[in-house]
């Protein structure tokens, strides 16, 4: 009986939060990228394509590491331009652990 009640509470909570999340998205106007942001985004994508097409077999270990670091920085910049909300792996693990402890 106790598990049944917890299951109903969980389903109700998830249902309510899903409706609020979709309602929040519909109220928020879609933001267009400005001309400067579009230019910066194009620079990032062209550099990523350039790195992809590069022959990395003759690069040293330090050069490969520098390329990976540059790609990570460009990925962060692109995410900042798009303005999305992201959850870290640690946050997801904490949420899952809390759900397990509640149930």
Are the C-beta atoms of residues 78 and 89 closer than 8 Å to each other? Answer: no
Are the C-beta atoms of residues 103 and 10 closer than 8 Å to each other? Answer: yes
Domain layout of the chain by residue ranges: 34-102
Distance CA 1, CA 79 (A): 45
Per the structure block, which two tokens stand in for 43? Answer: 């620079």
Instruction: Find tokens 């920085």 and name the residue.
Output: 73
Mean pLDDT, rounded, for 56-67: 91
63-81 tens-digit pLDDT: 999 999 999 998 888 877 7
4-47 tens-digit pLDDT: 887 877 776 766 555 544 444 445 555 666 788 888 888 988 98
């Amino acid at each position: 009986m106790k598990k049944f009640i917890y299951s109903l509470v969980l389903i109700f909570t998830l249902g309510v939060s899903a409706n609020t999340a979709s309602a929040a998205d519909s109220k928020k106007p879609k933001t267009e990228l400005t001309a400067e942001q579009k230019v910066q985004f194009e620079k990032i994508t062209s550099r990523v394509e350039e790195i992809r097409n590069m022959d990395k077999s003759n690069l040293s270990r330090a050069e490969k590491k520098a390329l990976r670091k540059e790609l990570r920085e460009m990925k962060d910049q692109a995410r900042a331009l798009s303005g999305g909300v992201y959850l870290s792996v640690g946050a997801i693990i904490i949420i899952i652990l809390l759900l397990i402890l509640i149930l």
